[in-house]
Structure 1
Amino acid sequence: MTHNLRRTTTIAAMALVAGLGLTACGSDDSSSSSGGGGGDATSVTFLPKNLGNPYFDTSDAGGEKAVDEFGGTFEEVGPDTATPDAQVPFINTAAQQGVNALVISANDPTAICDALDEASSAGTKIVTFDSDTDAECRDLYISQADAEGIAKAQVDLIAEQIGDEGEIAILSAAANATNQNEWIDLMEADLEENHPDIELVDTVYGDDDDQTSFDKTAALLQSHPDLKGIVSPTTVGIAAAARYISTSEYKVEVAVTGLGTPNQMREYVKDGTVTAFALWNPEDLGYLAAYAAKALADGDIDGAEGDTFEAGDLGEYTVGADGVVLLGEPFVFDESNIDDFDF
């Protein structure tokens, strides 16, 4: 794998995206498949929050790599928009097709549970990754990093970049995104407890859409003329915010950080718009999710705490409480290391 962040790096202040994307497969029925195909092959379908998101392009590519390694069949499907209702038809179709495992990043913790329950009843193993559902709605959740660590990393980054004082705002993804809201709650608590001179003046939602996030950035700067920093815990948002600020009067004056991918953020680090940001390796996240799905589908594990399974190049993992498997620590990217990564 390209740069196993889990094994080779640790975060200084603790950190990261995302949600990222690729170029899109485009329409609701878009999909790709690969892998071994015989009747005994483990079939795995990846359902990201939406297609056309660089974060999920990368994570799903990691899943496809894993499925190829263990000789299964891989398919990626998904909606164009990151809404829970848009994911339901794809869940239903996967169940009807009898896929062995569905790997999904949830757009809502509860709204898709009925569909997931039906799929589970039909024999499909349910693995969430990146963004979880309620625990009773899936078999395993593959978490990119500890939520407290992700939140603290982003707060530490913005605090350092603005001298630990001033007004900041958060540019999130969708208002009901499980992971985003958990991180924001933890960031608010960290700010209140440890950074009394930093004031969070606004939280806005770009819906993981580039243009919407770009426009929200402009609106934030107009509404809060004393703003010193923007934290965006989503790869789409941080790139859009950096793009806006890079050609504006706010460059250098307003810090931008959060969760992003090196390839998205490289030009903004090089031109001085962004000092540092965080993320885990989304390719590894998808790779681990696919191996977890295989272990479930093959009956090697049932998702109980203490279960262990092998995840190819990443080695052995252990299932934690509530069916959570932790990929590892996130990583901080800056000018000194960003050229070492390509995703």
Structure 2
Amino acid sequence: MFNRITKTLTISAFTLVTATAVFAADKPKVAFVPQLVGIPYFNAMQDGGNRAAKDLGVDFVYTGPVDTNPVDQLQIVQSLIDKGVNAISVSVLDASSIAPVVKAAEAKKIKLFTSDSDAPDSGRAVYVAQATDQGLGNTIIDELVKRVGPDAKIGIVSGEATASNLNAWIGFMQEEAKIKYPKLTLLPPQYAGGTAERAAQIAGDMMTANPDLKGIIGVASSTCPGVAQAIETAGKIGSVIGTGYCSPNTARSYLKSGAFGFTVLWDPEKLGYLTVWAGKQLVDGKSFEAENKVPSFDEPVSYDAKKGILLLGPPAVFTADNVDKFNF
């Protein structure tokens, strides 16, 4: 309990200092609240947000919880609302609890939207999506089946049980398996929270309990190292294929060791850029078009007006052969 209180106080102090420093400038303020600070994936989103802020003439506020705690995340969002940030984006940890802060933001004429993880029924202004949930779920199953066969047994190690994006991807994995690979066995997902250590323990226990296991999927970026390390520790390289949604830098050594056969993701630096661009559009009162030209993007960014989703693009597959072409 003491540690949790200490963390919360630390977060609040950091938010206050960051907001005070940024609010001194007379520019639109766009914030992003990740699920967890201090990991490569969200660090890359922060880099993209900083780049966009420089290009677009806005102030970018980046602050989030030190562990994957929905209560801490909502406190940070509320603090940003109280400080009067013009637009706030959130990678949602608990989709069921964010609607009240959306209303609180609306009451102060603040644009609150989601990025990376959605809360579609919350009333958010827009969702900046890295790829479609269906595309991500289908891609990881299709690629894994190429390596383990259509009748294999596969385990799933996810992050927080309440994370809407992770649950959506798992749902489409299960749907793809049922429709396309009826002999494939997907074990019920297990949840590691935000720690690689817990993911490693779960993955190790999973392999012990299922000696015929052929693959393990790390659904959260924070669980990928734990899954890979468990495969290496168990001496299962080659007999159990690991994969997950994690950045090339996180997965590089595991792809090269063979613990991971591939990973599926997108460019989080570009997602961070697109998030700040979307916030600037909302602050300026500009609507999204079906196809949007975003500075520094080679291809137009599509917008689904019916669902309120701004889509970065299709997922990418990283392997030992191409991983060194990327640095995020």
TM-score, with structure 2 as normaliser: 0.90
Match of 2:326 in 1: 341
Residues 95 and 122 in structure 2, CA contact (< 8 A), matched pair in contact too: no
Asked if 1:322 corresponds to 2:307, the answer is yes
Q: How far apart are the structure 1 equivalents of 2:226 and 2:124?
A: 33
Q: 2:268 aligns with which of 282, 286, 306?
A: 282
1:212 equivalent to 2:212? Answer no
Q: 2:35 aligns with which of 35, 49, 64?
A: 49
Contact 1:62/1:284 (<8 A) preserved: yes
> Unaligned 5+ residue runs, structure 2?
1-8
Per the TM alignment, residue 277 of structure 1 is displaced from its structure 2 partner at its CA by 1.4
Instruction: Tell me how many residue pairs correspond in the alignment.
Output: 315
Deviations 1:299-319 (A, max 9, x none): 122x6xx46654221264343
Q: Secondary structure at the match of 2:68?
A: coil
| 1:239 match: secondary structure | helix
Partner of 2:230: 244
SS at match of 1:170: strand
CA distance in 1, matches of 2:186, 2:23: 51
Structure with the larger helix share: 2
The answer as to 2:274 corresponding to 1:293 is no
Residue type of the alignment partner of 2:232: S
Match of 1:143 in 2: 129
Distance 1:79-1:336 versus aligned 2 partners, 3 A rule: same
What are the Cα deviations for residues 169-196 of structure 1, in whole angstroms up to 9, with x where unaligned?
1111111110111111111111111112
Per the alignment, residue 215 of structure 2 pairs with 229
1:198 paired to 2:198 = no
Q: Compared with structure 1, are the counterparts of its residues 267 and 122 closer, same or farther at alpha carbon in structure 2 (3 Å cutoff)?
A: same
Alignment RMSD, CA only?
Answer: 2.1
Contact 1:135 1:322 (C-alpha < 8 Å) held by counterparts = no
For each residue in 1:180-215, what CA deviation from the matched residue of structure 2 results, as whole angstroms up to 9, or x when unmatched?
111111111111111122111231011121111111
**Normalising by the residue count of structure 1, what TM-score does the alignment of the two structures yield?**
0.86
In the other structure, the counterpart of 1:159 is 145
8 Å CA contact 1:50–1:80 kept in 2: the answer is yes
The alpha-carbon distance between structure 1 residues 241 and 104, as it changes in their structure 2 partners (threshold 3 A), is same
Q: Which runs of 5+ in 1 are unaligned?
A: 1-25
**Moved >6 Å (runs of 4+):** 33-36
By how many angstroms is 1:221 displaced?
1.3
After superposition, the C-alpha distances for 1:204-232 in whole angstroms (9 at most, x for unaligned) are 01112111111111121122222111012
The aligned counterpart of 1:332 is 317
Structure possessing the higher relative contact order (Cα contacts under 8 Å, 6 or more residues apart):
1
